[in-house]
Amino acid sequence: MNRRTFLQSAVAAGTFASWLPGSILPSQIGANTAIKGWSLLDSLELLKTLRFPIVEIHPMGQPEPVPGQFPGFVFDQLTAEQKSGIRAALTPFPHVTAHLPYTGLDYFAGDEAAVKVVDTALEGSAYFGAELAVLHPKEGAWPLMLKRIRRWGDMAQERKMRIALETGYPRSVRDFVRLVREVDHPAVGATVDVGHQSQYAELLVKVRPEDRATPAGIKAYNDTTLAIIEELGPKTFHLHVHDIEPATWKEHMPVGTNFVDYKRLFTLLDKVDYRGYFILEIGGSPQDMEHHLRDGKSRLEAILARMA
């Protein structure tokens, strides 16, 4: 059986064999639990039903449903019963990642309370078996930024985890790549979110707002994403995937606007021997999320099958 036949039959069956060296496989596609208004356990149950092998949890927020908010947890506020329930709900997933808290936290500006929040979230992520934790870089003094990221890298390494800095800040490809390189920690790399490049200096000088939806504007955006991966190579640890609204560059849209050039993306990642995950991070109304997640998974699998 050749690779094309393998992938097509695997997609049809919904099951995937073990690793094929030098290839991107459907078994690398996961999803996060960010479904607004749902409980954490209900979100995990949906992702299990949709047969995602990887799930990204959020050590922030509440496990119970809260209108307009996605579910998560604050580790040191969980009861023993809640911890047991979350662990049991994660059992069906071979792989777990986490997204560390960021909203309202100035952890690179001398806010020690914010640092403690991230410490607790990292500890909780490890407790629930996360292999990797996503961290949003934020504005702050560069030396302090390096010091704290290295410290979290040490914490992650001790817990057999990795930290992946998410694209979006600093506001240029050059400085984001510089940050990852100057941290210079074996357990610290990057999360490339396909929708976080809209404010990067290198892109803004190439595309006027009125040209965003043009073929040239869309290509320039995709070029920027690929440039980060080309610069970082094996330091590209993780991806957040979705689609983008062409006219506005609004991110976290359901896969299918055809803005993100997944064929080019997967081809480059295959070339750099990417072994990480693709976490679907899609927004939308709670009642539509099952369809969006199922459809997004199917579309990405189909692209991989056509590339085989």
pLDDT for position 308: 75
**Residue 78 — left, alpha, or beta (φ > 0 → left; ψ -120 to 50 → alpha)?**
beta
Burial of 24 (0-12, 13-18, 19+ CB in 10 A): buried
Per the domain annotation, does 3 fall within a domain? no
Dihedral sign of CA atoms 214, 271, 194, 142 in order: negative
Total number of domains constituting the chain: 1
Per the domain annotation, does 17 fall within a domain? no
Per the domain annotation, does 14 fall within a domain? no
pLDDT for position 110: 80
Which alpha helices (DSSP H) does the chain contain, by range? 3-13, 40-49, 80-90, 112-127, 142-158, 173-183, 201-204, 215-232, 262-271, 289-307
pLDDT for position 11: 41
Helix (H, G, I), strand (E, B) or coil at 194: coil
Per the domain annotation, does 16 fall within a domain? no
Q: What is the residue range of 69's domain?
A: 24-307
Per the domain annotation, does 13 fall within a domain? no
pLDDT for position 111: 87
The ranges of the chain with pLDDT < 50 are 1-22
Burial of 286 (0-12, 13-18, 19+ CB in 10 A): middle
Q: How is residue 254 annotated by DSSP?
A: P
| Spatial contact of 86 and 74, defined as CB atoms under 8 Å apart | no
Dihedral sign of CA atoms 201, 205, 211, 216 in order: negative
Distance CA 99, CA 83 (A): 18
Euclidean distance between the first and final Cα of the chain, in Å?
A: 12
pLDDT for position 17: 36
| Spatial contact of 281 and 241, defined as CB atoms under 8 Å apart | yes
